[in-house]
Structure formats: C-alpha cells, structure tokens
Chain A
Amino acid sequence: MTLKAAITALVAAKVRPFTIVLGAVVVLGLIDGGSGYFFSVGTLFSVMQLFATLGLVALGLGLSMLVREFDLSVAGIFSLAGCIAVMTGATNPWLGAALGVAAGVMSGLIQGVIMTQLNLSSVGVTLGGLLTLQGMTYVLSGNQTVSYPNMAVALGLNAPFAHLFSIRSAVALAVFVLAALAMAFTHIGRDVIATGSDRRASRTAGLNTDRVLIAVFIASGALSALAGVLLSYSLGAASPVGLSDVLAPAAAAAIVGGVSVVGGRGSPAGIAAGVLTLCILRSGLSAIGVPPYVHDLVTGAILLFIAVLDAPELARHITAWRLDRAERRAQALARNSI
C-alpha cells in the first residue's frame, strides 16, 4: 500500500510536472547508458537555450489559461516583437527591446479591454489578434528576413557563463523566479487563481475580475514579446514566418506543467517544469542520437497520455469497469459454491 500511496503522491496535480521531468531525465539517462552524451554540459546548455525561447511564451500562455482563457495571440506577439526589436535596436539594443516589449504590453492591453468590455471569449478575440499581429509583422518586415547588424549583442546574449547559462536563459529563469514569487507572496496569485476558479463568485466577493483579466493578458503579451526579442537578437535576424510554430509547444509545455485548461490550477514552477520536460526531450533525444521525428512522437504520446489521464470521465469509466468485473467475479463465485 505504501507503494500505491507513493505513486498517488507523485501523480498528484501539484507534484506531477516535477515527476514527469524526473522521469524524462531518468529514462533518457538509462537509454544513454553512461555514454555521456546526455549528461553533458553541452546538452544541459542547449536545454537551457531552448528553455529561454519556449519558457516565457509558455508562462504567458499558462497565465492566460490560469484565468480560464486561451491567448492564441502569443505566437503573433512573439514574431512582431522580434521584428520591432531587430529593426529599431541596431544602435541601442535596450531601445529595441523596450519597444518590442511595449508592443506586447499594448497588444495585451487592447485585447484584454476588448474582451472585458464587450464580454467576449478569448479564443475569438486573440485569433483575430493573432492574424492582425501576423499581418503587422509582414508589413514591418516587408515579408522577408530582417537581419540584425549588431552581432556583438547576439554573441553576448548567447555566451555561456557558469557552463550552463547564457544571459538569455538567465533572463528567462529570473522572470520565472519573479513570477513564482509574485504568485506565492502577493495578492496577485490569489486573485488570478480566484478569477480562474470561479469568476462570478470572485466578482461577488468584490474582486475586480476585469482588471485581473486585463493584467493577465498584458503579462502574457509582455512575456511573449520578451521571448521574441531575446530570440531575434540572439539569432541576429527576424522573419515573419518560421517563428510562428511556437504556439503548440508552448501550450503543450503549460499543460505538461500542470496548468488546467478549465482554469484555476497551475503555477509558474509547474510551468517551468513542463517547459524543461519538452526541452530535455528535444535536446536530450538529439544528444543520444535518435532521429528528430522521435521527439515529435514522444511529445505527442506524453500529451495524449496527460489528456486522457486528466479527462474528467476517465475515473467514472474505470470505476464502472471495476464494478463490472467485481460483480462478474462474485457471480462466478456464487456459481462455483453451488
């Protein structure tokens, strides 16, 4: 029974993201079998680089899922902010970064106000937002790759320090720590969770849920913008296409990280674990030399597993099946005893 209790504790909603990360590390370590490709500084560094790109977008999207919305526009802001930064930040990278993040803040603010004032669902509004932001990126970039002349910034952002981190991944980590602290120790976390769990009750209790919602979308826009800025700077280029494949992995990371799609459940630490899982799978699998498609298959399988595991009706189906079996067994016993 203790084993069962341990397993129950490990898959409990709050612990599960960390269990999955550990599981991924152990499995990849076992496959690697001590050949040292997986447990190497290089692999860890590349995990952290991937984390820097995906993590902030997943955090933004995850925050919107916490309040029971879904911010599709993160992919659009990601590309647009990258473009803005590259085009305006050639001489002063800080200016470009500030403008890029400001664009994210504006887009989140506008969409949040539209949603709360017109009482609209986020999927529709942010879908329109996504298409509009993509259009703006196309217009700004003239539909071609814009290169960033300031290579010193690119090299500086990606230069390793302490073997594992670059400035880029350190920034991402720092943002995660800040978000976790804000969610744990200020009223922000409580407000966000309350809004996501039961919006009407929160409003009745005197919480200005509209303001929480707008703030969450501003945060989501700013975080995705920051991720886009950092990636474009470090690639030394921005392009309207290619960057847009970020939405599905970000959503996957948030959900693996324990954010519930029905709102009110999840934490920045969990999201970080979810992002780490995806990044470890991607660079870990390529480090031990399996072809790239295996990564897609494994990620898909994990997501499918979580989807079914979290499905509300699964427990009912299993219980029904168990009762059925028990009944049949009882009948068989009764027959035998006669």
Chain B
Amino acid sequence: MTELALVTRFEKHRARVRHAALWVRLAAAAAIAAFALTTPGFLTPLSLNALFTAISFVGCVAVGMTFITLTGNIMSLALGATVSASALMFLATLSFGIIPAFLLTVLFAVIITGLQGFLVGHFRANPILVSIAALSLLLGGAAFVTGGHRIYPAGEGLAMFKGRIAGIPKEALCFFATVLAGQFILSWTRVGRLMSMVGSNFRAATAAGIDAAMIITAAYVIAGACAAVSGVLLAARYGSGDMELGAGYDYTAIAAVLVGGTGISGGSGSTLRTLVGVTVIAIIEVVLLLRGFSEQLQYLITGLIVLAVIMLHAAGEKR
C-alpha cells in the first residue's frame, strides 16, 4: 500500500471515530431531553424558574473557570473562596450605593484573581499550587477582617436583584449575560481569540510573538470578574454572607466546564459549551428531584453522569 493510501485510510478512520462520537453525544442529549420532558412537572414555570435560578450562581463561576481551563491552566481551587469574599465585599460596601459596591466588588475580585494570573502567566508558576495558596490567604484574610462573623448588608437596594423580567429570574439573566459576554470576548476580541492558541501551545504562541503572559493574566482577570458577579448574586439572594457561601463551587464549576466539552488540557472550549454543561447538570438534578430521588441518590447519580460524560468527550477527542 502506498503512503498516500495509508494516510487516506487513517483520515477516514479518524473521521469515522469523530462521527461516532458525535452520534453518541447527540444520543446522550436526546436521552437527557426525553428523560426531562417525560418527567411530570418539569415543564411548569415553577420548576423552570427554579432551574434557571439554581444554575445562575455556579454558572457564572463556571464561565470564569472556562477561561482558566481554556488557557491551559487546568482549574483554580480558589474561585469558590473568591465568590464568598466578593459577596462579603459587596455586602460591606453597600453603604456607598449599589453601583459603587458592585464596581468595588468586581475590582476586588479582579485584583485577587488577576494577581494569580500574573504569577501563572509571567513566571509560569503552577496554577493549582497558586490557587491553593490564594485559597489559604483568602480564608485567613477573611477570618481576620470579619472575625468569623456573618456579614449583613451595610445598605439598601438588594431587592433590585430579585424578581423577574419577562418571566425569567434576574439572576438567570445575569448568568446568560455573563455567558454571552464571555463568548463575545472569546470569538470577537483579539485577546480572546489568542486564548485558545496560548492554551494549546504556550511555547508556540510565545515564539509567534504573542504576549502569552498577558493573555493568561487577562483570562484570570475575566475569571475574577465572573466570580464577583456570582458573589454579588449570592449576596443579594441570601441577604447575608460568610465564607461558606461559595464553598465547593470550584468543583461544580470545573465539572460543568468538562461536561460542556471544554478540554482539560486547554486550547479548545467556549463559554457556550459551559452553558450546555451547566444546564445538563442542572436538568439532571431537577429531574432526579422531581422523580422523587432522595438528595443522597441525586449526588451519586449526578457524579456518575459527570464521570460518564467526561469519558465520552475524551474518548471522542482521542487521536
């Protein structure tokens, strides 16, 4: 057999594998949809609203996490704590008014997360280690500042985050806006488009004259802003806060990112995929709840499905 024929055969085989993976994915999506639509009570406004509200908090974090994963930095273990700290910051600065408090909160989270991005980007420090360090510093710093007490709002105006516009909860609208803003950055801005390049091959990107360190810092800055949005929404929802508010969000967020199909090794992904991932996880949870599974079984089944979906994606992307 000639070399060319071999190559053609190889490419045909690859296309077939990719095709098969696509069909499996479509079948999985159809199965989830059928499962959801045949569940009594799923399509009621009440349950849909609950679904939308439930996904918005962790969804914003997942959008931020997408940028970290996409640029080749796996995940951050500090985003959950950043969410909590942002919520505390927002509640404490509410006395200046809603908008200044919001801006201060975003600034705070952007600085904290951006500094981590600077260390990761400029010095190539290990992202997981940096995030664990940041987690420790955030927990310690928050305990020092708050003395371990709950923080209550220092001003009025939290009510403006509650309620619905056109029947959709405001929290969900904020989340969708975050997704769209993230996708806009990734698809339409220079920095965003370079992110997947830096993520797939840092050295090649640097060799091509790209300021990869700046790109990574930018990705972390965006992640910080997303965490701040989540923190503000949580603060408004619960009316008070402590460092437990966003605890565990890191794991749910990275699970949503991976379920959506963003590759863990970086270089490919989008916030729209993350939206799909967040929605799939949320639908599974709501369906299990409506079908009367106990809370414990919900955790177990969700975990198994996440594991299965991650395996599915990775098997589909295999060389």
Binding site for B on A (CB under 8 A): 70, 114, 118-121, 123-125, 127-136, 138-139, 141-143, 247-248, 251-252, 255, 261, 291-301, 303-304, 306-308, 310-314, 317
B67 to chain A, nearest CB (A): 17
A-B contact pairs, 14 of them (CB 8 A): A119-B318, A123-B264, A124-B310, A125-B310, A128-B255, A131-B255, A132-B304, A138-B296, A251-B129, A255-B132, A296-B140, A304-B134, A312-B124, A317-B122
Q: Which of A293, A306, A314 gathers most chain B CB within 10 Å?
A: A293
Residue on A nearest B309 in the bound complex, by CB: A128
Indicate if the CB atoms of B307 and A131 lie closer than 8 Å. yes
CB neighbours (8 Å) of A123 from chain B are 74-75, 264
Indicate if the CB atoms of B301 and A135 lie closer than 8 Å. yes
Q: Complex formed: what's the CA distance from A12 to B230 in Å? A: 42
Indicate if the CB atoms of A296 and B136 lie closer than 8 Å. yes
Indicate if the CB atoms of A297 and B136 lie closer than 8 Å. yes
Please encode chain B, from 284 to 312, with 1 for each CB lying within 8 Å of some chain A CB and 0 for all others: 00000000001111111111101110110
CB neighbours (8 Å) of B144 from chain A are 291, 293, 297
Indicate if the CB atoms of B123 and A125 lie closer than 8 Å. no
Selected from A135, A247, A303, the residue in CB contact (under 8 A) with B302 is A135
Indicate if the CB atoms of B126 and A261 lie closer than 8 Å. yes
A296 to chain B, nearest CB (A): 3
Residue on B nearest A70 in the bound complex, by CB: B128
CB neighbours (8 Å) of A317 from chain B are 122-123
Q: Complex formed: what's the CA distance from A338 to B272 in Å? A: 65
Q: Complex formed: what's the CA distance from A338 to B239 in Å? A: 71
A171 to chain B, nearest CB (A): 27
CB neighbours (8 Å) of A143 from chain B are 294-296
CB neighbours (8 Å) of B137 from chain A are 296-297, 300-301, 304
Given A124-B310, A291-B144, A304-B119, output 20 extra A-B contacts at Cβ < 8 Å: A120-B314, A123-B75, A127-B251, A127-B306, A127-B310, A129-B307, A131-B302, A132-B303, A135-B304, A138-B295, A139-B299, A143-B296, A261-B129, A293-B143, A296-B139, A299-B136, A299-B140, A301-B137, A303-B129, A310-B126
A210 to chain B, nearest CB (A): 15
Q: Complex formed: what's the CA distance from A310 to B255 in Å? A: 28
Selected from A141, A252, A294, the residue in CB contact (under 8 A) with B132 is A252
B174 on the A face (CB < 8 A): no
B233 on the A face (CB < 8 A): no
Residue on A nearest B146 in the bound complex, by CB: A293
Say yes or no: A130-B251 contact (C-beta < 8 A), given A123-B75, A296-B140. yes
CB neighbours (8 Å) of A295 from chain B are 140
CB neighbours (8 Å) of B139 from chain A are 293, 296
Binding site for A on B (CB under 8 A): 74-75, 77, 119, 122-126, 128-130, 132-141, 143-144, 251, 254-255, 258, 264-265, 294-304, 306-308, 310-311, 314-315, 318
B177 to chain A, nearest CB (A): 27
Selected from A141, A252, A311, the residue in CB contact (under 8 A) with B125 is A311
Indicate if the CB atoms of B306 and A131 lie closer than 8 Å. yes
A216 to chain B, nearest CB (A): 18
Indicate if the CB atoms of A138 and B123 lie closer than 8 Å. no
Those 3 A-B pairs whose CB atoms lie nearest each other, nearest first:
A128-B307, A296-B140, A135-B300
Indicate if the CB atoms of B300 and A293 lie closer than 8 Å. no
Residue on A nearest B299 in the bound complex, by CB: A135
Indicate if the CB atoms of A248 and B300 lie closer than 8 Å. no
CB neighbours (8 Å) of B77 from chain A are 247-248
Say yes or no: A300-B140 contact (C-beta < 8 A), given A127-B258, A131-B251. yes
Q: Which of B74, B134, B138, B139 gathers most chain A CB within 10 Å?
A: B139
Indicate if the CB atoms of A134 and B75 lie closer than 8 Å. no
A100 to chain B, nearest CB (A): 18
Selected from A133, A251, A291, A299, the residue in CB contact (under 8 A) with B303 is A133
Indicate if the CB atoms of B140 and A251 lie closer than 8 Å. no
Indicate if the CB atoms of B299 and A311 lie closer than 8 Å. no
A166 to chain B, nearest CB (A): 27
CB neighbours (8 Å) of A299 from chain B are 136, 140
Indicate if the CB atoms of B297 and A308 lie closer than 8 Å. no
Indicate if the CB atoms of A125 and B140 lie closer than 8 Å. no
B74 to chain A, nearest CB (A): 6
Say yes or no: A303-B306 contact (C-beta < 8 A), given A131-B299, A248-B77, A261-B126. no
Say yes or no: A304-B133 contact (C-beta < 8 A), given A70-B128, A120-B311, A124-B264. yes
Indicate if the CB atoms of A308 and B132 lie closer than 8 Å. no
CB neighbours (8 Å) of B124 from chain A are 311-313
Q: Complex formed: what's the CA distance from A301 to B20 in Å? A: 49
Q: Complex formed: what's the CA distance from A310 to B307 in Å? A: 33
Q: Complex formed: what's the CA distance from A135 to B300 in Å? A: 4
Say yes or no: A134-B125 contact (C-beta < 8 A), given A119-B318, A297-B137. no
CB neighbours (8 Å) of A251 from chain B are 128-129, 132
CB neighbours (8 Å) of B251 from chain A are 127, 130-131
CB neighbours (8 Å) of B129 from chain A are 251-252, 255, 261, 303, 306-307, 310
Indicate if the CB atoms of B122 and A297 lie closer than 8 Å. no
CB neighbours (8 Å) of B314 from chain A are 118-121, 124
Q: Complex formed: what's the CA distance from A303 to B74 in Å? A: 18
A200 to chain B, nearest CB (A): 14
Indicate if the CB atoms of B143 and A142 lie closer than 8 Å. no
A147 to chain B, nearest CB (A): 18
Indicate if the CB atoms of B130 and A307 lie closer than 8 Å. yes
Indicate if the CB atoms of A136 and B300 lie closer than 8 Å. yes
Indicate if the CB atoms of B296 and A135 lie closer than 8 Å. yes
Residue on B nearest A114 in the bound complex, by CB: B311
